[in-house]
Amino acid sequence: MKSAKANVSVAHLALRPATRKADGRSGVGQVARVAILSALAHPFLLRSVGVLNDLSTADFTEVTDPFALFQLWFEEARATEINDPEAMTLATVDAEGLPDARMILCKGADARGLVFYSNIESAKGRELKAQPRAAALFHWKSLRRQARFRGAVAEVTAAESDAYFATRPRGSQIGAWASQQSRPLASRADLEAAVQAYERRFASAEVPRPEYWRGYRLEPVEIEFWRDRPSRLHERIMFTRSTPEAIWEKRLLYP
């Protein structure tokens, strides 16, 4: 843990932009005072990398079950990330083999893999239909950790898609009907008109799941865990298996 003096220095650095706007009479204006309170209220501004990486109770490189470790890190990220701890980069390839990546939300994670949802007529949907394999990356900045997945992708059952769609906010359900995802849009007004049309169509009734809106599961055959360490001597472990039914093998990797 850093000394109190070091912690004050961290807070001071966070305040520099604010103090430029300080009140000339008091030396510390309202903007600076707000910044001080924000810094003191946000414990992660005052924690060292070592403390952040010691949140787990055990040495992560000793773990033998990658899904158990991922669940632990995922839960810790939910407690520390300010926005969207479930956000992940999903990478696919197009018909020419050109990589394509975008940020999406992981809506399920267990021993079967990672679940996400999309319009199957979107760019990612078309790419996954032609080449049903993908890579996914979680980067939790507050914890200075990453988790990477690679494997085949398959659609989840219609029942799973229905169940998740029913939990979405009504506005998001309407949006799934109104948006022709990834396709050209003449104007924002066209999208807003489509939203209004579907709001009238469904009125006060439940919004059903569009047939083209479905879930996918990435079934990993590779999972890598990365943790930040001083001097860029990071820790990395890789789990691999030949098929989703095979036994995991683990090895350490150089940074």
Q: State the catalytic residues.
A: 232
Calpha distance 113→152 (Å, rounded): 10
Tell me if 16 sits within 8 A of 10, measured CB to CB: no
Closest CA to 161 of 103, 225, 108, 93: 108
Q: Which residues contact 164 (CB under 8 A, 6 or more apart)?
A: 107, 108, 117, 215
Tell me if 182 sits within 8 A of 128, measured CB to CB: no
Q: Which residues contact 94 (CB under 8 A, 6 or more apart)?
A: 100, 123, 127, 130
Calpha distance 254→237 (Å, rounded): 9
Calpha distance 177→197 (Å, rounded): 10
Calpha distance 134→144 (Å, rounded): 24
H helical segments located in 168-244: 170-178, 188-202
Strand-pairing partners, residue 87, are 105
Closest CA to 151 of 67, 45, 252: 67
